[in-house]
Structures are given as C-alpha cells and as structure tokens.
Amino acid sequence: MSRIVIMGGGPAGYEAALVAAQHGAEVTVVERDGMGGACVLDDCVPSKTFISSAGVRVELRRAPELGIEADARSVKVELSRINARVEALARAQSADVRARLEREGVRLVAGVGSFAERPPDNAPHAVRVHTGGHANGWNRVGAAQTGAQAAEQAGDQIDEVPADVVLVATGATPRVLPGAVPDGERILTWRQLYNLNDLPEHLIVIGSGVTGAEFVSAYTELGVKVTLVSSRDRVLPGEDADAASVLEDVFADRGVTILSRTRADSVHRDGDEVVVTLADGATLTGSHALMTVGSVPNTADLGLDRVCVKLDRGGFIPVDRVSRTTAPGVYAAGDCTGVLMLASVAAMQGRIAMWHALGEGVAPIKLKTVASAVFTRPEIATVGISQATIDSGEVPARTIMLPLGTNPRAKMQGLRRGFVKLFCRPATGVVIGGVVVAPVASELILPIAMAVQNNLTVNGLAYTFSVYPSLSGSITEASRQLMRHDDLD
C-alpha cells in the first residue's frame, strides 16, 4: 500500500486525498487552518458568498424597469449579518470537506508539515509534523507564519510520518507591501474584510486585478463610496479588453472613482482614517484601504532543500504538467506552484498528481482549456484562446461578438450590458475560445468550455438545441453566425 502525505488541505490537497484514498493508498493530510484551507475558510468561498449578498441590490435597482416598485437606496445593509453568514457558510463547507475525507478513510492531522532531515530506512521521504495546539499559522495581519513559527507559538508536539509520495499543496497568502502593512482594522487584505461590523464610509482599493475588481463591484453595490487605484491603464489588465470596458462603464455609472496608471507608494493610518500616498506625491484619504496586490506562495520553511527542490524567483515550486517537482516522489499543486491560481486548476493538479503517482493513466493538464470567471456584476467568464492572442496574429481564428442586449431573455430581464464572443479555427470551425459577459457568465461559459475541451465545431454547437428564451441562446446564435456557407453544402 502506497503511503501518501499531503501538506495542505485546500482544493489541491483534499481532491488529491480523495483520489489517493479511492485507489487504496494510505493517506495523511496535514492542514493547520481547517479542511478546505484558505480557499474555503478565508478566500474563494467567503468572497463569493459576500458577493452574492451584494448582488441583491443589483436586482432591486432593475426592479422599477420591470414594473416592480423598489428603491435600492433605501435598503438597509447589515454588514455584521452578511459577514456572519459568510463565516457560517465557510465553516459548514469546511465541515463537509472534512466529513467526506473521513468517510474515505483519510487521516487528518491539524498542524504544519515540513520535510524531515533524514527519512527512515523503509521510506523515500518523511514529513515532520508539528501537531497539538491546533497550530493556526495564519497571521491575521496579512502574512503567513512559517511552519516553525506557528509550531513554536502553539507549543505543539512533533511527529514524523513516512511517505512514499509527498504532495506539497500549501497555497499562497496575500502579498504585503512594506509601506502598507495591514492592521486588520483599517488597512486590510481581502481575507480580513469579514471582520468589519460596519460598512466603510470610503473604501480605497489598491490593485485592479480580479480580486480588486470583485470587491470594488461588491462594495459599490452595497452603497459604499469606492476609489480604485490601478497601476495599469485599465481595470482587469489580464482579462478580455472588451469585457473590461463593460465593467469600467458599470463602475462609472455606480460612481466609482478609477485612478488609472497610478501607483500607491504607501498606506498609513491616521486615527479613524487611512492616507494613501501616491507615486507623484499626491494623497488620498478614506476610511479603509483594501490591499489587492497579489499573492506570495507559502513555501518558506517546508524543508524543500532537504529533498533538492528549488524554488523559482517568485518563491513558487516549479512543476511539470503532471505536477512533478524535480525530486522523485515529490509533487506540488495549487497556488504554491503559481500555475493559474484558481481553485479549479489546483484541484485538477492535485488529482493528476495522484493519478500519476499511483500509476494510473493520466492526461497532462491542458491550461488552454481552463475556464475562469470574475465575479463582478456583470460576471466575466473566459476559456481558451484570448482575443489578444488572435489580434496579435499568433493564432488565426474566425470570431463573432454578439451583444447581450439583442437576446430576448436579456430584454425580458432588463439586461443591456454584456456580450458573447466565440472564436473558432478558420478552416475547420473547431471552437478554440470564448468570452461571456452576463449576470451568470460563470454558468454560461460551460458549453463553450466543453466545446474547447472536446474539439467541437461551431456546427456542433449550432445544431444543439437551446431553450427559448434563454441567455444560452446567444451561444448557439453566435455559432450559427460563425458557420461557413460552404459547410452547409
């Protein structure tokens, strides 16, 4: 029986554990915060729960146009109740993950792990586990403590677990800038927002990537004055330009102030206010500042040097397409690898690692088939080849962009903004990518993702029945418009 030790209980870790257990391995998961890891307890699940609450006001704003008298401005927002629901749902999801692993016979250890200096004679590796005291190593000021620091503060015991295979899935933590250290009260990381009892009077968001855009959208919908400081020329610089333009228009309509090509040099607290000093010497004053300036991998103090695994310049663990590191029997998955930092990708990396380690047939991960979403209002979802890649001439394609406003279901719901894009190979019509901007883009992207994953053609999508009326009808309509007339002969 293979002995597998997994460091980290987030999506990469727990999905890997399920695969390994189902294939008869002896599995131990070492997790310091709770099953589901930061993704479930502090990050993805809480943020999307929070965003769901904020979305209620979006529907109320549209209500008068649909013949329903409602005033979104008069709606009372109780932030403490929203955050209580966020915490309760996160803990419930964590409990569900734990229960599933326990049913599968996975051994769960509360603590932190690192590679032992000398594995026992009967195992290629051993993981040194600091247990007891339930080592909760997250520093709520915003940085993660190392395993040794957490263990020392917890006063825990030390054990060593032999392993034939080790999966490192320790995730990442919000980046902290030297001149803008979070205090958990006024200067915040995105994992600290749920400690607030009252809505900010003026929230300054620093960073215009996915996380920044999502919280700008959510807090704006809750009626908060928001200023976004972006070092780039637009919101969501890594996403489709047309989609980002739609979102910027929405932000402008909601009263968001966007400072583009502006860099924040420092953030400090002045009583009940925060002062943001910009690179040009100007200052901004608000009630709270949210730092969304990226993540750093939790790879320090894991003893990776003991197994000859070297980190890249960013501190991430390099892996190949089946999640192998440079050390035999050592795999890595999730945000600690820096490979598309998405929960879905982390989970797939973890599964692939175990299938490969246990000798199962496995296809290497295909990043070009990954679907992702930005949970703003409207949502933005993408998959496959990007518009920028096509425009650069790197990949030839036929393209179509249909505005959502022409869709009958969108008209019924009072939706004006949004679109569906579809990209296909010029000769074969094989679908190679797409973009959806819509209230439920994260759901609508699935048929396009299935087409990209399975090399389906626009003909195949066009001949597929969609419900009438439905937003998904725009996908089949886009496919019909991309069909070549000579394909119909």
Query: Tell me: the pLDDT tens digits for 451-475?
Result: 999 999 999 999 999 999 999 999 9
What's the alpha-carbon Rg for the chain, to the nearest Å? 24
pLDDT of residue 64: 87
Torsion sign over Cα 229, 232, 238, 241: positive
Whole-number Å distance between alpha carbons of 29 and 168: 10
User: Three-class SS of residue 373?
Assistant: strand
Measure CA of the first residue to CA of the last residue in the chain; give whole Å: 59
Query: Tell me: the pLDDT tens digits for 334-359?
Result: 999 999 999 999 999 999 999 999 99
List the beta strands (DSSP E) in 164-280: 165-168, 172-174, 187-189, 202-206, 225-229, 257-259, 264-270, 273-278
Q: Could you tell me if 79 and 87 are in contact, meaning their C-beta atoms sit under 8 angstroms apart?
A: no
- Among 89-103, 152-166, 231-245, 390-404, name the one with the lowest average pLDDT: 152-166
Does residue 373 register a pLDDT over 70? Answer: yes
Q: What average pLDDT does range 233-245 have in this prediction?
A: 97
Query: Tell me: the pLDDT tens digits for 387-409?
Result: 999 999 999 999 999 999 999 99
Model confidence at 135, in pLDDT bands (50, 70, 90)?
very low
**Residue 351, token pair as written in the block:** 């599964």
pLDDT of residue 58: 86
Query: Tell me: the pLDDT tens digits for 288-332?
Result: 999 999 999 999 999 999 999 999 999 999 999 999 999 999 999
User: CA dihedral defined by 444, 446, 451, 454, rounded to 10 degrees?
Assistant: 180
Model confidence at 70, in pLDDT bands (50, 70, 90)?
confident
Model confidence at 133, in pLDDT bands (50, 70, 90)?
low
pTM equals 0.92
Q: What is the mean pLDDT of the chain?
A: 93
Model confidence at 154, in pLDDT bands (50, 70, 90)?
very low
Question: What percentage of residues in the chain have a pLDDT greater than 90?
Answer: 87
Whole-number Å distance between alpha carbons of 436 and 420: 5
Q: Could you tell me if 300 and 294 are in contact, meaning their C-beta atoms sit under 8 angstroms apart?
A: no
pLDDT of residue 297: 98
**Residue 7, token pair as written in the block:** 């460091």
